[in-house]
Amino acid sequence: MKSYDYKTRKGIREITWNEFHEICKNLAEQISKTNFDIIVGIARAGLYPATLVAGMLRKEIYPLRVTRRENGHIKYEKPIWIVDASAKVRGKDIIIIDEIADSGETLSIVMERIRAKFAHSVKTAALITHSWANPKPDYFALESDELIIFPWDKSVLVNGEWKLHPEIESALKLQK
């Protein structure tokens, strides 16, 4: 499955900030049952759940950035590295958190990089996974093939006016 192929979504699910908090609590409860040292959050959107879950579990968080985007626009077919993983992962048990596992490619790339930095163990987590994600995250709060609209993505400021995010607007048209 190709990332950002919004024609394949089945329905629409808009997540509110309150729902986001509850989904993060679910994810925190799942990953708290494993022994780990550090959370690695994938910027940009993965930092929302990674930061909240790290706070809930009182764990350290180290961000990195792997993306297909530049200035919010999809620019690259494959994710590229912008900010590398911290050397602090060496010898540690790591949980990588992203907001969504779409194709699974980003989590896979990050997991490989963390292992190459000699982490003791690496597990992955996402708030939401699609059924076609490969690999699936080790932990996730919700599996859905809907078009997911996160609260931080819904509106963007354009020339001083709040507007529906253009990518979401286009994706919604494909759902009709």
**pLDDT tens, residue by residue, 111-122:** 999 999 999 999
Q: Does the pLDDT value for residue 7 go beyond 90?
A: no
Question: 1 or 55, which is more confident?
Answer: 55
Angle at 33 between CA 31 and CA 39, to 5 degrees: 35
- The structural domains of the chain, with segments of one domain joined by +, span 10-146
Structure tokens at 130: 């699609």
DSSP 77: S
Q: Of the CATH numbers 3.10.20.740, 3.40.50.2020, 3.40.50.300, 3.40.50.280, which one belongs to the domain with range 10-146?
A: 3.40.50.2020
Q: Does the pLDDT value for residue 64 go beyond 50?
A: yes
Closest to 102 (Cα-Cα) out of 122, 74, 121: 74
Q: Does the pLDDT value for residue 58 go beyond 70?
A: yes
Structure tokens at 95: 């949980």
Angle at 167 between CA 40 and CA 127, to 5 degrees: 30
Structure tokens at 9: 């979504």
Looking at residue 1, its pLDDT comes to 42
Q: What 3-state class would DSSP assign to 1?
A: coil
Mean pLDDT within 7-21: 89
Question: 170 or 126, which is more confident?
Answer: 126
Please state, in angstroms and rounded to a whole number, the distance separating the CA atoms of residues 8 and 19: 24
Least confident of 30-34, 46-50, 122-126, 165-169: 165-169
Please state, in angstroms and rounded to a whole number, the distance separating the CA atoms of residues 104 and 112: 12
**pLDDT tens, residue by residue, 134-169:** 999 999 999 999 999 999 999 999 899 999 888 888
Determine the distance from the C-alpha atom of residue 160 to the mean position of all C-alpha atoms in its chain, rounded to a whole number: 28
If one counts every other C-beta atom within 10 angstroms of the C-beta of residue 168, the result is: 20
> Dihedral of CA 109/96/87/61: which sign?
positive
Q: What residue has token string 């993983």?
A: 85
Least confident of 27-31, 102-106, 115-119, 172-176: 172-176
Environment class of 36 (CB within 10 Å of its CB; exposed 0-12, middle 13-18, buried 19+): middle
Looking at residue 59, its pLDDT comes to 98
Continuous segment of H or E residues that includes residue 63: strand 60-67
